[in-house]
Amino acid sequence: MRQVPVEQLADTIIVKSPQSFRLVAPFFIVIILDAIGFGIIAPLLAPLVAQASHVLWGAHASSYVIHILYGLILAAFPISYMIGAPILGALSDYLGRKQVLFFCLVGVLIGFICYVLSFSLASISLLILGRVLAGFTSGSQGVAQAAMADISLASKDKAINIGMIAVAMTLGLVLGPLVGGELSNPKWISWFSLTTPFYFVILLSIFNLFILLIWVKSDNNISHQAVLPHLTQHWQNFIALFKSTKICLLLVVFFFFELGWSLYYQSLALFLAEQFHFQAQTIGLFLTYVGIILSFGLIAIVRLAVNYLKLKTVIFIALLIGVISLIAVYGFHLFIGQCLLVIPVTFAVALIYTSLITLVSNLVAKDQQGLLMGTTDGLLALAFAITGFLAGWLAYFNINLPFLVAGCFWLVALIIVRIIYGLMS
């Protein structure tokens, strides 16, 4: 779920030897798994919302109830991730990376088994349980990143490994919808069905468990200090972070920005299913296209913009373009228009995210950088949880309405940015 600045995406990835590959590979796959787990469900589930009679929803479910359930299913993953990430991160400092990652991979495995059973038994409860389990244990993303930092012997190695983290996140963002759409397509192989993508992730989880046990050594330098005082200190540092008015306002901007982006992204699958009657395969390809355009924006467009413009100018212009584009998405009903409007929206996301994070980071002390990144990650997860529900609920009233509301979120962010710049001047 986490997005990453362009500086990380643009790092050259070099695996210098088979030994270094064996060290990094288990953590690399964990991060890909987390990203796939988030994005795999929407292409499969959205077409079923348009088929109100599908057995998954029950015999007497109304259209309103189906849209609410769809929103709850989307929201279950990010809200569980938000809860799990700090807990698993703290436990990994105390118990060791390998032990916590093993627990997380087992949790992901059980979560995806619940996915399979939910479709086989037509059980919404099992599907939501699977989303909760997969979301909570996807908090392992931070643990995997910490483990990759642990094995970096020099700053150059760390830069390379951070680059690999960014590549893994991007691969997961692109592969999640693609796996969901293509592995459920019986045109490729006759026995492919809605559950086939989940079997693929289950096999990938088992493979990752195997190489984790074989290739990763247990931690020798585990800190056995009490966890409670450690967390208490983190809470005090967190409160101190919000004493700066500028930081508070920029984090509010970040939250409204993420509300707009996440509502747009999470509404796309249902919009394509209900507006154009697309099936899982086409929806998966479209969301993959969104991921590719976003990746290009992070790699190329951001570097181009920051070389010629100040960060605050980049944020203001990108938000303005984003608001106009989202309003256009709301009013434009042709598919070709949606394909074209993805470009300014995702480029705006790349520009706003990296510029905002950099701007806030410049206002924070060096020893608070980790806390800041954890805070923004929590805000991102909260935004995706809120808008996961909104994506289903708002679509019941009007399938285009989520895009208009997303534009309003960005408009609020734009107004706050203007206020901040007034304070800075």
Please give the full DSSP string across 66-94, using - where no structure is assigned.
HHHHHHHHHHHHHHHHHHHHHHHHHHHHH
pLDDT at residue 175 in the model: 86
pLDDT at residue 236 in the model: 67
Spatial contact of 227 and 100, defined as CB atoms under 8 Å apart: no
Q: What is the rounded CA–CA span in Å between residue 220 and residue 86? A: 22
CATH number of the domain within which 259 lies: 1.20.1250.20
Tell me how far the alpha carbon of residue 30 is from its chain's centroid. 14
pLDDT at residue 194 in the model: 86
**72 within domain boundaries:** yes
Determine how many CB atoms are found less than 10 A away from the CB of residue 157. Answer: 18
Q: Residue ranges of the chain with pLDDT lower than 70?
A: 1-23, 52-53, 140-142, 145-167, 218-238, 240-241, 366-371, 423-425
| Angle of CA points 370, 371, 375, to nearest 5° | 120
**114 within domain boundaries:** yes
Structurally, the chain folds into a number of domains equal to 1
pTM, entire model: 0.83
**1 within domain boundaries:** no
- SS in 3 state form for 253-292? HHHHHHHHHHHHHHHHHHHHHHHHCCCHHHHHHHHHHHHH
Closest C-alpha to 323, from 404, 416, 421:
404
117: enclosing H helix or E strand: helix 97-121
- Residue 51 sits in which domain range? 6-217+225-424
* Beta-carbon contacts of residue 330 (< 8 Å; ≥ 6 apart): 400, 401, 403, 404, 407
pLDDT at residue 51 in the model: 76
Query: Which amino acid, 202?
Result: I
Spatial contact of 4 and 167, defined as CB atoms under 8 Å apart: no
pLDDT at residue 230 in the model: 56
Token representation of residue 346: 């995702």
Query: What's the residue count for the chain?
Result: 425
